[in-house]
Amino acid sequence: MKILVVDDSSTMRRIICNSLKQIGQEDTVQAEHGADALAKLKENPDIELILTDWNMPMMDGFEFLTHVREENKTIPVIMVTTEAEKANVVKAIKAGANSYVVKPFTPDVIAEKLKPFLG
Amino acid sequence: MNAILASTSPTSLNIMRGALQQAGQKDLNLKTVDNIAGMPAAIEPDTLLMVDWDDGKEHAVMFIEAARKCQNNIKVIAIGSKGAVDGEARGMVAAIVHKPVDPGLLAKSLKQSAQPQTKPRPSVNVEFINPFIESTVNVFSTMCGIDIRRKKLFLKDDHKMLGDISGVMGLSGSATGSVVISLPEKLACIVVARMLGEEPATELNADVADGVGEIINMISGQAKSAFSKTKYQFNISIPSVVSGAGHEITHKKGTPNIVVLFEAEAFEFAVQVCLGAE
């Protein structure tokens, strides 16, 4: 499964990709912010799952999510963010996020959250 | 004259009492305090707090903060052996008097401290610090597998950072200011390597800087979430990173700058919180 990992921190992208490797998901595409992620989605129509941060420069994860849902209602989107307040979780789910991972996290949390989408 | 003498040492309390009497203070209304819980709930505005710095800075600062919670403009004189008191207490107290106490010098200091302070020290809101301490411990444990130990907490006036690399996050909302993590080079390399499951870099580089930025992002984000369950609400910005030995980061003027010193992997690092209510 090709997975898009969106975060402005290269360290966090690598941490997420390492966590994905541990569950056998090595086919990843990385993007630095929402606008970059939209471009990567166009270049890679075979992307089947998105993991995205919320607070990013240029275009944040919430705006990115909104754009994704305008084009694609079904691709699973998991928010991976420090925005842990209930109001923000509800806001993201209402806007179309399928799941939510709060930073800091351990690799098994990523594995657990991805499980329903890996078939 | 109303005075509170604060020290955990009975000997120091006696020295301070004797020194005040020898300094010619008449009609002394003295109260001695050997722990923070003993600090009076109400303090008259013209009261002098004499604090023993040889107890250690942490104790002295706690006595001062406890007194200022009741009376923000209380005059404070630090008594201590030459050395630590000179660097540490400067800027926090109205006067410093060395042991053995010279009654003449003490009388002069008392006269000086009786002058109105031009800049009353801002009060410290301890509610602002605990969520950052808890989130720092959690981020290091969860992301790096490193158990850290809180060493001490103190106020800092200057802008020079304690480490070689610092991650900075701006906060706005119920209060505005910043939170900074400042790490020595080697510890920064170790921490980022542990997050990535790799060997540590030998020196600071772009990857280490990015990792330090992500650490302050997570510390701030988790603290922000903890605050959301209280009366305080914050927004965070995008983190930035500054490095170089002796680098400086300016903080909000007139706002207490609280430094929490931690120990990790035999190194010390600091988390600095400077938040002032709007």
Residues belonging to chain A with any Cβ–Cβ distance to chain B shorter than 8 Å: 8-12, 14-15, 18, 55-57, 81-87, 102-106
B214-251 pLDDT, tens per residue?
999 999 999 999 998 888 888 998 999 999 988 888 87
Enumerate helices (H) and strands (E) in chain A, giving the number of each: 5, 5
Task: Give residue B121's pLDDT.
Answer: 54
First-residue to last-residue Cα distance in chain A: 10
A69-112 pLDDT, tens per residue?
999 989 999 999 998 888 899 999 999 999 999 999 999 999 99
d(CA A16, CA A51): 9
Please state the rounded mean pLDDT for residues B50-75.
Answer: 84
B195 contacts on A by Cβ (under 8 Å): 11, 15
d(CA B74, CA B44): 8
d(CA B188, CA A12): 15
B218 contacts on A by Cβ (under 8 Å): 82, 103-104
Query: Residue B45: is its pLDDT beyond 90?
Result: no
Task: Give residue B116's pLDDT.
Answer: 56
B207 contact A CB<8A: yes
Cβ separation A15–B218 shorter than 8 A? no
Radius of gyration of chain A (CA): 13
Cβ separation A14–B139 shorter than 8 A? no
Q: Which residues contact B207 (CB under 8 A, 6 or more apart)?
A: A10, A11, B192, B201
pTM: predicted TM-score of the whole model, two decimal places: 0.70
Which of B207, B218, B238 is nearest residue A103 as measured by Cβ atoms?
B218
d(CA B155, CA B85): 14
Q: Decide which of B252 and B100 is more confident.
A: B100
Cβ separation A11–B143 shorter than 8 A? no
Count of CA atoms in the C-beta half-sphere (13 A) of B96: 17
Which of A86, A87, A104 is nearest residue B218 as measured by Cβ atoms?
A104
A108 contacts on B by Cβ (under 8 Å): none
**Which of B217, B224, B238 to mutate to probe the A interface, most A CBs <10 Å?**
B217
Which of B142, B196, B221 is nearest residue A82 as measured by Cβ atoms?
B221
Q: Name the percent of chain B lying above pLDDT 90.
A: 38
Q: Which ipTM did the prediction report?
A: 0.91
Query: Residue B78: is its pLDDT beyond 80?
Result: yes
Query: Residue B119: is its pLDDT beyond 70?
Result: no
Cβ separation B196–A83 shorter than 8 A? no
Which of A11, A57, A81 is nearest residue B210 as measured by Cβ atoms?
A11
B142-195 pLDDT, tens per residue?
999 999 999 988 888 788 888 999 999 999 998 889 999 999 999 999 999 999
